[in-house]
């Protein structure tokens, strides 16, 4: 038997250490948590994506009493970006969350598996690395590409 260890590069920043552009994305993601529709989980998530043309598109989680019918903030954002700007790559996505008490989470929240797969496909579609910023009041995680968030990922190449 052979055993491998997978390690990922992860940078952790304080808000003040971020560039102005990254602060703007984080602020928009935080703002979008207030547009969330989360009457069941009471967990509000917002996302903001920067496109190569300079546009910023945003989204928030939208729940439904029939749980599978809801959608996460990351997917509402990326699906909107890809449908409105089909030939423009997404370069960065920022994600923020507020808990049931209405406070922003201390530690960054990581996207669910479905969102990770959609992020991977969006990165593949755009042909450039999709950088990820995960906001927490105690620090902001930066991942330089989706594979860092989703090691051993499944891609279209795996179906050939």
Euclidean distance between CA atoms 30 and 16, whole angstroms: 16
Concatenating the DSSP letter of every residue in 84-144 gives HSTTS-EEEEEEEEE-TTSPBPSSPPPPPHHHHHHHHHHHHHHTS--EEEEEETTEEEEES
Pairing of strands 139-143, 56-60: unpaired
Question: Cβ(37)–Cβ(107) under 8 Å?
Answer: no
Among residues 74, 106, 121, 142, the one annotated as catalytic is: 74
Using left for φ > 0, alpha for ψ between -120 and 50, and beta otherwise, residue 140 falls in beta
Identify whether 74 is a catalytic site residue.
yes
Phi, psi of 62 (to 5 degrees): -130, 110
Report the catalytic residues. Answer: 74
């Amino acid at each position: 038997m052979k055993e491998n260890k997978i390690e990922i590069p992860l940078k952790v920043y304080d808000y003040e250490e971020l560039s102005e552009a990254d602060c703007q994305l984080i602020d928009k993601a935080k703002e979008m948590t207030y547009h969330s529709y989360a009457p069941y989980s009471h967990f509000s998530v917002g996302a903001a994506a920067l496109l190569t043309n300079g546009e910023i598109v945003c989204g928030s989680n939208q729940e439904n009493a029939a749980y599978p019918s809801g959608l996460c903030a990351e997917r509402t954002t990326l699906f909107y970006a890809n449908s409105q700007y089909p030939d423009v790559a997404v370069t960065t996505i920022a994600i923020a969350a507020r808990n049931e008490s209405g406070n922003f989470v201390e530690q960054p929240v990581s996207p669910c598996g479905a969102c990770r797969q959609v992020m991977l496909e969006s990165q593949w579609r755009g042909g450039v690395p999709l950088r990820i910023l995960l906001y927490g009041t105690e620090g902001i995680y930066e991942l330089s590409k989706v594979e860092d968030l989703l090691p051993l990922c499944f891609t279209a190449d795996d179906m050939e």
